[in-house]
Structure 1
Amino acid sequence: MPRKSAAKAEEPSSDEVSAHSDVEMQDQPDDQMSGFKKFGYNVDTPDYTDSDTNPNTTANSIAGDHAPLDGRKRRAEEMNMRKSMYGKKAEGLRASKEDDTIRRFRYLLGLTDLFRHFIDTNPNPRIKEILAEIDRQDAEESKKSKASKVRKGGAAAERRRKTEQEEDAELVREEKHGGHNETVFRESPGFIQGGTMRDYQVAGLNWLISLHENGISGILADEMGLGKTLQTISFIGYLRYIAGITGPHLVAVPKSTLDNWKREFAKWCPEVNILVLQGQKDERAELIKERLVPDGFDVCITSYEMILREKTHLKKFAWEYIIIDEAHRIKNEESSLAQMVRVFNSRSRLLITGTPLQNNLHELWALLNFLLPDVFGDSAAFDDWFSQQNADSDAVVQQLHKVLRPFLLRRVKADVEKSLLPKKEINLYVGMSDMQVQWYKKILEKDIDAVNGGAGNKESKTRLLNIVMQLRKCCNHPYLFEGAEPGPPYTTDEHLVTNAAKMVMLDKLLKRMKAQGSRVLIFSQMSRVLDIMEDYSVMRGYQYCRIDGSTAHEDRIQAIDDYNKEGSEKFLFLLTTRAGGLGINLTSADIVVLFDSDWNPQADLQAMDRAHRIGQTKQVYVFRFVTEMAIEEKVLERAAQKLRLDQLVIQQGRTQAPAKNAASKDELLTMIQHGAEKVFSSKGPLGPAADGELGDDDFDAVMARGEEMTQKLNKRYEKLGLDDLQKFTSDSTYEWNGETFQPRKKEVGISWINPSKRERKEQNYGIDSYYRKTLVTGGRTENKQPRIPRAPKQIIVHDYQFFPERLTELQDKETAWYRKENNIKAPLPEGPDEDLESREADQQLAQQEIDDAEPLTEEEKAEKERLIEKGFPEWNKRDFQQFLNGTAKYGRTNYQGIAEEVDGKEADEIAEYAKVFWKQYKTLDNWQKHMGVIEEGELRVRQSEEKKRLIAKKISMYRMPLQQMQIKYTVSTTNKKVYTEEEDKFLVVMLHKHGVEGDLIYEKIRDEIRESPLFRFDWFFLSRTPQEIGRRCTTLISAIVRELGDGDAKNRNGKRAFEDEETEDEDEVEQPKKKAKNGVKNKALDAVKGKASPASTSPSRASSVVSNGSATKKAKGKKK
């Protein structure tokens, strides 16, 4: 039976597609199965000449053939037509995917048997059947070939003429499957308008076409600036004009590139119908209503955020291609975006990225799993296979290359774009001005214990990261700190330049670039640096544009257009690295300044390639500013390490073994300590450009030295191999410029500075008095202003930690004595003026306690330590809230269940905490609220258990529930009923099997429906979504509760324990005032309905359900 007729008979569903639907294939009838016929290999592919299955048919075009109806019926008719269209398109897509699966496996196994290892890990039995059938057919062909050679004398068999029957069979097979024709373009295709594609872009198009013809999804990973967008658009043009596939396609891109993608489509392929799904809620609703739902588009371009917001509409489509730009956004398979795009049903997928696979094996697997879930389904098997090769890193690289070669195309500008001169990168090393040195010291002094490593493991990584951030701000410009800029009044003057060595260098560089006619892009991670740049540009009279993270989309487009337009007088473009580094073409500039380096070197590369891309006719220079003998040197070294990994692995289409993604605490500490010794020993400015002046000779010397040190840095990392980089730590970078910087903790100690200044908190921002008082490196400076020293270290007591009250008393006593010893007066409590008298009284009482304070005795100190052990100091607010939620979900004594809710706690810890909680819960603030949450959850548990008991009781009443069960419907249920009794009984049995509550219950029931042979041709039941199945199950549970519930089926508050939550989507029918006595059939109502509309049919597909009727016969009722 050809698939064309089968598609008409089955009316398959597609309202909802599983996240792993790429490998879930519906069983075909046995009479359709012979060899690969059961997989769709020798079965007719969908005939798209039929309007029912034409992928370009829209719901409106179908509904438009009918006579006009009233509004409500017309909308219902359109909705049914639309559902039918979605279902038939999904069936056509599923048939195509089955064909693709066969071709894909044959192609991959023909490349290397390595793929068999990954395919074998897929638990889907259909996959194993396909592999077995491939092996069987290969064995038969090999056997026949050998036998023929034996009979006819070796190679003579291959030279014999074909019979008429053999040739006819081959022609028919090629007609069905398109033969093995391959489309290859030798020049820019005719459907590309607005320009001509370059040779390597045509080669990229041919590669994408070969993937499509072999049923494979891939990663287009060309280096930034090589025209990946154009190659993708040309491929969509091929699908439209050559393959006859107009769509729909989904393109997910960063929000900042939406307009660029729209422009590129309009330029290169204007006939493609583009829908940009973006805007405010009401604007999106209009787009969805007028264009998305009616299928009035070929390509839908939207942002990642819109995919999450409008997932309900987008997941209903059977997409031909899902294309994701900046594909590293889904490298974490646990992210919301990665999970959502996996749910969408598509024939093929394409990932676009200029910075692929930069982290580890697992992230590589996440991308490959998204592309081909039937091949790369098990991450553990993927990781384990490569970890077994650790003994030989070269073997790992070779095997990775074999795995990636079919899916990944990676080219760099130096190899393919001969007309584009390679960019020249120079690191310019500058020093620190006197003000920067003083602030750098101050930052280190403030946390001297962490800087010296003297606090052991007590300092948190967050604290170290904060120090790193502050030091990097100081390297950029001291005015980033509150109170550093002299004023008020604040003036735009030369001090903007002279107080930061980088600004001195930039000022000299820009003057030279302006004189030679260049235009400059300046990137910084910090938007407040751009604020300073704006003031500087105004002072120097430079015209500029600016883009940062807060720039509106429309303003961003306007700024780019203003800078790129012919004859533009804009000299500078100020951008933040992350906001301005994606999807922007600024080839009108030829100088790039990286004012500071990003932790991720790929972000800096993205920034450079805004200017260094196709269309650039000048030599591009990239100047990276680095503060010498400071933390920025270490940041640069870490970036160089990552780039070396990229060079070793990614450029060859490979990936790397797992590596650390973020700096460890020890590495952060090393970065902070780097150069600190020289900073503290300095009496003034340090290094080049530090004194605020830089002559021409000095500038040329800095440039020459920068080129030399850049070459040294690159050569140093060129020597490192894959194994060296995998074991890389900051220790391997201590040797630099002929000097060793191994950390010497004895020298980097308290003797640097007087650590007492860490306590200074006064907010005095007069620049002269500030430095006079706070930046003294000698003895302790007397502070005449009263201040409160740091109190003794104590446990912060929270009520949910259940510390004994005695501990609070002892800590209060200890604090009072500390204040008395340091002559600290009790502060006046804050409050309104009318309460001044009361607050003064409280102050006097507090002061009295301080005056009468005594130090803790040795016994009390020991008692305090014992009391600390009696509480739960390791429990935080989150743990407490999770404990409440777990108790509400699993009950008060199910400690194992509660432990699953509380992160990092075992069942015995939960039991210990619960024992104290139930004794002392009334001591908590808002304990009534907490108990309300628990009791409400316990009520839900009891209700759930009652439902399960009644369903089990109902099932146990019948020997064969699926055939014998009788469900007593209420009148309201019968009136709106569109499910057959057979379907309802199946749902009840599945509720008994899977339970009535839990995660993904109705998704599991939906999968059971799709796998059951009973409903192979039941399009209505197959097309129900988990939400619709859930609503029907709720209705059936309510009916069973009414039938079997005891007389006490009311809760303790006198309310019904189980409400009828029937909220079906079908049209509402007015409720009769009188219910049928037996709860199954209302004969009077049927009689009235029969008189009112004798020619009409019941809205129910089981229109005459009676308690003693045949379930089998009623299941055959006509479907509405």
Structure 2
Amino acid sequence: MNGHRDGDTTMVDVLDTPDYTDSDTNPNTTESSVAGDAIPPDGRKKRWESNALRKSVLGKKHDRLGESKEDDSIRRFRYLLGLTDLFRHFIDSNPNPRIKEIVTEIDRRDQEDAAKASKGHARKGGAAGERRRRTEKEEDAELLREGKHSDNGNTVFRESPSYIHGQMRDYQVAGLNWLISLHENGISGILADEMGLGKTLQTISFIGYLRFVNDITGPHLVVVPKSTLDNWKREFHRWIPDIDVLVLQGAKDERHELINDRLVDEKFDVCITSYEMILREKSHLKKFAWEYIIVDEAHRIKNEESSLAQIIRLFNSRGRLLITGTPLQNNLHELWALLNFLLPDVFGDSAAFDNWFSDQDADSDTVVQQLHKVLRPFLLRRVKADVEKSLLPKKELNLYVGMSDMQVNWYRKILEKDIDAVNNAAGKKESKTRLLNIVMQLRKCCNHPYLFDGAEPGPPYTTDEHLVQNAAKMVMLDKLLKRLQAQGSRVLIFSQMSRVLDILEDYSVMRGFPYCRIDGSTAHEDRIAAIDDYNKPGSEKFLFLLTTRAGGLGINLTSADIVVLFDSDWNPQADLQAMDRAHRIGQTKQVVVYRFVTDNAIEEKVLERAAQKLRLDQLVIQQGRAQQPTKNQTSKDELLGMIQHGAEKVFEQHAESAFGGKAEFTDDDLEAILQQGENRTAQLNAKYAQLGMDELNNFTSDSAYLWNGENFEAKKKDIGLNWINPAKRERKEQSYSMDKYYRQALQTGGRTADMKPKIPRAPKQQAMHDYQFFNPRLADLQEKETAWFRKENNIKAPLADGSESDLEQRQEEQEIEQQAIDNAEPLTEEEQDDKETLQAEGFGDWNKRDFQQFINGSARYGRTNYKDIALEVDSKEPDEIAIYAKVFWKRYKEIASWEKHIQSIEEGEERTAKTVKQAKLLKKKIGMYRVPLQQLKINYTVSTTNKKVYTEEEDRFLLVMLDKYGLDNETLYDLIRDEIRESALFRFDWFFLSRTPQEIGRRCTTLLTTVQREMEGTDGATNGKRKVDESESEEDAGGKKKKGAAAALKNKNLESVKGSKGNSKTGSSRNSRAGSVVSNGSVAGTPKGAKGKKGKK
């Protein structure tokens, strides 16, 4: 195919347009091009030649990589099928015909080898009766494969390799050998050693093996969290400084320079970048033929629908390695997503994977055993206790403390504010968002009451002993830190909340403790400086304050030996990562972890749930989780159970000191709490260590209704059941006047005035919006209640604002409203009950955003697809969507502008139906041909042919790709664009390669319309009465031209078509795109009348 498109003057600059379409760092953008200056022809030609050469080189590398991947597939399948037949089920479910050919060939060879072995063992003479002779082609292919792999013997290191500048431990050398064995068998894997065992070093040593032993210099791509970029760079420089490392990170201008100077010309061996840069610079990174793609913290791609997981799957690589310090989560589908990323040809079908485990009739232990068989070839996980004998085991203690007077009062206030949710009266279902908010407020109270606005005494605000005395955890921490400093320990303090670190920072300054701090807002450079400052020899820093998520990854703080978890993370793995900042290789002391837990409060339940989840992680998987992907999240019932835990005791107890009513907290008290914590920690661990998978499942579902040994599930219908009885509320007078504050504080006297009696607060009324579908009677009852309140408090009806012209009308309205107030009567008991019932019947927890998301979801997925609509509505679950939808479709006419909403839904459903219909017709069309990429015929209309600039080969490719990815794929046209750029068919087809997703989409719309007309039996031929082709208008929509220019271009095309009629048999040396099309409605066969009519247009 020629690179130039003769006869199409609009395509002159296509060759000069680089295909950096979705990156903000286009290496071909210059100051002159941005300013609009003309580029010299010589510069343009030179740039074009450079781009063409670069694409040619990359194309050859991708070809070589494709050959290597096919060889790896053969070795991989032979190895896996030799281990267990479990893999045959997954491989056979892959629809790729090439994979089926490979498996068939492997089976044939295995049968031949078995036949030879049996005949040799029997020592029988004579020729083999059924032996099949190999063809020359088969023998040549086998000899080539043997030649390629003749030098690939089993490499095993007995000690640290010579190319490593240092000494590796024995288990790290074993890990390197495991990675090498994966590579030699064509397998990608998961290195899942416990945190602190040197996964980074094992990975670097493997890259060194590829370079120095196998002569594979790269390129390799290492994707890591942003916080660990500098650590990875340092580790490479420390262990193998000969490897050229590029860190792709920084501001736009910095990345622009790195891409131009090093990335584009591949002046590196290893490219280290972050997850964010993968998304931002995907257009550059996906052009490379990577040897290995390595992803640190592999759980970031466990959701295959996330942007990161989808984009990184598009990258071409020979091998892939996932690194994770946390055990695989107990979710079948997430596990499949990781395995699919590693080996898409083996684990290509998630449904087959889920169904295979879900359909097992055996008990859950058998399912776990089967899963371990599947995971064993790909997974290596070791823990410190088994391999690192020089590292003492860490000691964990849960320290249980009470609450201070201020904490008890705030805890009560929080529960009283949402007492109906806490009591769960009448079984009313509260929204999960509301329950989560209550949980968050209670956890803040357990940490420190000063996290609430208005709790800290002041102004003026002072850093004094009240900072410690008003929070039980601070009293405990204060006593503990003094002891630890005296014994020469150094301490890491973790909290989920950065505002807790603010309080701890004030405390450290007050006590004179030198400290460092890292949280989510700490700049990357400041983060590195703080770590270096804490770890340097002779450092005076005693404390390191960190947030659990920001400080739990990629940090080595072995200079500390004490870890304090001020509060627990929802995910226990995050806490384990925090502990392992100190408990890792290089630690010479025993690490002690103190976890603070508020007794008889919500934190106890959070800790129990964490222990339960850790036990589940230990069992790796449980049957049926694939069908319930959200089960791993905390349910509403679990949240309610956490809130209710200890609530009754809080309301029953009298305010007292956090430590049994004692005025001071002594050393003896500290010893007692430490001893009690050690005992309770051991009991908690023993409790969950004995539970199997079935017991854990039952525990999860029942625990929300179990409290104090009584099951309240059966009492849900009892309206009178209250968990807590609120204390008598005493309203304290609050003054926000600065003058009054200083008069009272300084007692300066001053003029006093009689305080007017405060007007009681008006009854809280339900805000009513039309989309909430409240009963109209509720509005009447609320108006009646408000009128009575105004009458009781002698509040007159206000005069509405307005101009002088309508003053009389406004005064009349005021009089009518005042009459209603004067005649008002209080709500009867029956009316009060009706009001509460009507409030519960409406959808008061639905806001405008929820409603709009419901409309959008209904238009997108269909009005009855509640499960998918719930994905669109952030705060609602499918059962809530179903309830709302039934009411909506009965009463939607009560909503203002309901026609617009219904039209939006109906148009969305029509689009979906049209897409489904087109997809079926397209599949039927493609199914008519054995090799559609070569044989598929497209019945173009004449008008389509006239405006056509795509070849039939390109159109066939587009239709096949549409069928492959499905018309409902959100990234369909991006995927097709990537397929075009990766296909060898169009390597030099610059026009096709330079099409944007929008242009591809318009062409696909045209083709789908053409296919739909053909398959529905519509005559493709045109006549003078036919309407303008819909596809023409759609395809031309992208470039809006003036009417005159459009008409001139149409006449020009018409003349070219007329001219081609007379010279249909005279060949031209120029390769015209329109002339290369074979159409069933060719111009030569067009009736004269049709031409005449068209000419008159």
Match of 2:780 among 789, 810, 815: 810
In structure 1, the partner of 2:226 is 255
Give 3-state SS (helix, strand or coil) of 1:246's partner: coil
Secondary structure class of the residue paired with 2:338: helix
Shift of 1:497: 1.1
The separation in 1 between residues aligned to 2:730 and 2:646, in whole angstroms, is 20
Contact 1:1080/1:1107 (<8 A) preserved = no
Structure 2 counterpart of 1:118, one-letter code: F
- Counterpart CA distance in 2 for 1:663 and 1:339 is 27
Distance 1:454 1:941 in 2: 43
Post-superposition Cα deviations, 1:617-665, rounded to whole Å, max 9, x if no partner, equal 12211111112222222221221222223344499xx999989423333
Change in CA separation of 1:577 and 1:692 when aligned onto 2, cut-off 3 Å: farther
- Secondary structure in 1 matching 2:80: helix
Structure 1 residue 103 and structure 2 residue 80: aligned? no
Q: Distance in 1 between matches of 2:174 and 2:645?
A: 48
**AA partner of residue 676 (structure 1):** A
User: Is structure 2 residue 795 aligned with structure 1 residue 825?
Assistant: yes
Per-residue CA shift, 1:779-810, capped at 9, x if unaligned? xxxx9632324335x57232x56889x65863
- DSSP 3-state at the match of 1:575: strand
Structure 2 distance, partners of 1:993, 1:418, is 53
Q: Could you tell me which of 109, 112, 117 is aligned with 1:140?
A: 112
Q: Indicate yes or no: 2:554 matched with 1:583.
A: yes
Contact 1:1035–1:1060 under 8 Å retained in 2: no
After superposition, the Cα gap between the structure-2 partners of 1:847 and 1:73, relative to the gap in structure 1 and judged at 3 Å, is: farther
**Aligned with 2:1056 (options 1058, 1079, 1094):** 1079
Q: 1:626 aligns with which of 590, 597, 620?
A: 597
The residue matched to 1:1075 in structure 2 has which SS? helix
- Once the two structures are superposed, the pairs formed by residues 1024-1039 of structure 1 within 5 Å of their partners are 1027=997, 1029-1030=1000-1001
Alpha-carbon distance change, 326 to 848 in structure 1, aligned in 2, over 3 angstroms:
farther
Cα distance between partner residues in 2 of 1:1060 and 1:185: 64
Instruction: State whether residues 563 and 592 of structure 2, in contact with CA within 8 Å, keep that contact through their aligned partners in structure 1.
Output: yes
Distance 1:835 1:281 in 2: 61
Within 1, Cα distance between the matches of 2:912 and 2:332?
43
Q: CA deviation at 1:442?
A: 2.4
| Partner-residue secondary structure (3-state), 2:291 | strand
What residue in structure 1 maps to residue 764 of structure 2?
A: 791
**Equivalent-residue separation in structure 2 for 1:1074 and 1:671 (angstroms):** 76
Q: Secondary structure at the match of 1:70?
A: helix
What pairs up with 1:71-86 in 2 under 5 angstroms? 71-86=43-58
Q: What do residues 454-513 of structure 1 show as CA deviations (whole Å, max 9, x unaligned)?
A: 342333333332222222212211111222211111111111111111111111111111
Q: 1:715 to 1:947 in 2, by over 3 A?
A: closer
User: 1:813: Cα distance to partner?
Assistant: 3.6
Q: Measure, in 2, the Cα distance between the counterparts of 1:701 and 1:457.
A: 43
2:490 corresponds to 1:513: no
Q: Hey, what's the Cα distance between the residues in 2 that align with 1:131 and 1:383?
A: 23
CA contact (8 A) 2:405 2:658 kept: no
Determine if contact 1:100/1:214 at 8 Å carries over to the other structure: yes
How many residues of Structure 1 are paired with residues of Structure 2 in the alignment? 982
* CA-CA distance at 1:79 after TM superposition: 2.4
166-175 or 596-605: bigger deviation: 166-175
Residues 946-987 of structure 1 deviation map (CA, whole Å, 9 limit, x = unaligned) = 999x999x99xxxx996796776999978xx5x545545776
Code of the residue aligned with 1:627 in structure 2: it is: T
Partner of 1:362: 333
| In 1, Cα distance between equivalents of 2:530 and 2:549 | 17
Moved more, 1102-1111 or 122-131: 1102-1111
Letter in 1 for 2:502: D
What secondary structure sits across from 1:184 in the alignment? Answer: coil
Alpha-carbon separation, structure 1, partners of 2:454 and 2:397 = 34
Partner SS for 2:596 = strand
Shift in Å, 1:757: 3.3
Q: What's the RMSD between the two structures over aligned residues?
A: 5.6
Q: 1:219 aligns with which of 190, 197, 204?
A: 190
Partner amino acid, structure 2, of 1:680: F
Give the % identical residues.
Answer: 64
TM-score (norm 1): 0.75
SS of the counterpart of 1:727? helix
CA apart distance, 1:820: 4.3
Q: What does 1:1045-1060 align with in structure 2 at a 5 Å threshold?
A: 1059=1036
Matches within 5 A, 1:266-281: 266-281=237-252
How far is 1:518 from its partner?
1.3
Deviations 1:1076-1113 (A, max 9, x none): 54334889xx9xxx9xxx9xx968678888999999xx
Q: Which residue of 1 aligns with 2:897?
A: 924
Choose from 612, 618, 641 the match for 2:583.
612
Matches within 5 A, 1:923-1072: 923-924=896-897, 980=951, 982-984=953-955, 1027=997, 1029-1030=1000-1001, 1044=1022, 1059=1036, 1061=1038
Query: In 2, distance between residues paired with 1:966 and 1:669?
Result: 64
User: What is the one-letter code of the residue matched to 2:1036?
Assistant: E
Contact 2:791 2:822 in 1 (8 A): no
Q: How does 1:611-1010 map to 2 (within 5 A)?
A: 611-649=582-620, 660-685=631-656, 688=659, 691=662, 693-729=664-700, 753-754=725-726, 757=729, 785-791=758-764, 796-798=768-770, 800=771, 810=780, 813-820=783-790, 823=793, 825=795, 847=818, 849-853=820-824, 877=848, 881=852, 923-924=896-897, 980=951, 982-984=953-955
Residues 328, 356 of structure 1: 8 Å contact kept:
no
Alignment match, 1:314 = 285
Structure 1 counterpart of 2:499, one-letter code = R
Which position in structure 2 is the counterpart of 1:53? none
Alpha-carbon distance in structure 1 between the residues aligned to 2:218 and 2:992: 25
Distance 1:1004 1:169 in 2: 33
Q: How does 1:154-173 map to 2 (within 5 A)?
A: none
Are residues 835 and 240 of structure 1, via their aligned partners in 2, closer, same or farther at CA, if it must alter by over 3 Å?
farther
Hey, what's the Cα distance between the residues in 1 that align with 2:161 and 2:179? 14
**Residues 951 and 1037, structure 1, Cα contact 8 Å, conserved in 2:** yes
Q: What are the superposed Cα offsets for residues 374-429 of structure 1, whole Å, 9 maximum, x if unpaired? A: 22223333233333446433322321221111011001111111111111111222
Report if aligned partners of 1:813, 1:854 keep a CA contact under 8 Å in 2: no
**3-state DSSP class of the match of 2:729?**
helix
Structure 1 residue aligned with 2:171: 200
**1:118-157 residue CA offsets vs partner (Å, 9 max, x unmatched):** 2222232332232222222211221222223334599xxx
Cα distance per residue 1:915-972 (max 9 Å; x no partner) = 976x788x439x8x87997999899999999999x999x99xxxx9967967769999
Partner of 1:210: 181
Label 1:1011 to 1:551 Cα distance change in 2 as closer, same or farther (>3 A).
Answer: closer
Cα separation, partners in 2 of 1:824 and 1:146, compared to 1, 3 Å:
farther
2:745 is matched with which residue? none
Shift of 1:299: 1.9
Cα distance in structure 1, aligned partners of 2:107 and 2:917: 53
Amino acid at match of 1:677: E
CA deviation after TM superposition for structure 1 residue 584, in Å: 0.7
Change (3 A) 1:938 1:380: closer
1:112 and 2:122 matched: no
- Whether 1:562 aligns to 2:539 is no
Deviation at 1:340, TM superposition (A): 2.0
Q: Which runs of 5+ in 1 are unaligned?
A: 1-14, 17-57, 60-67, 155-165, 770-782, 1064-1070, 1112-1120
Q: What do the CA deviations read for 1:587-631 (whole angstroms, capped 9, x no partner)? A: 111111111111211111100010111111122111111122222
Check if 1:331 corresponds to 2:310. Answer: no
Contact 1:734–1:740 (CA<8 Å) still a contact in 2? no
Taking structure 1 as reference, are residues 655 and 572 closer, same or farther at Cα in structure 2, changes over 3 Å only?
A: farther
Query: 1:487 and 2:464 equivalent?
Result: no
Distance 1:604 1:839, change over 3 A: farther
Task: Name the SS of the counterpart of 1:259 in structure 2.
Answer: helix
Quote the residue 2:744 is aligned against. Answer: none
2:121 is matched with which residue: 149, 166, 170? 149
Match of residue 150, structure 2, among 147, 158, 178: 178
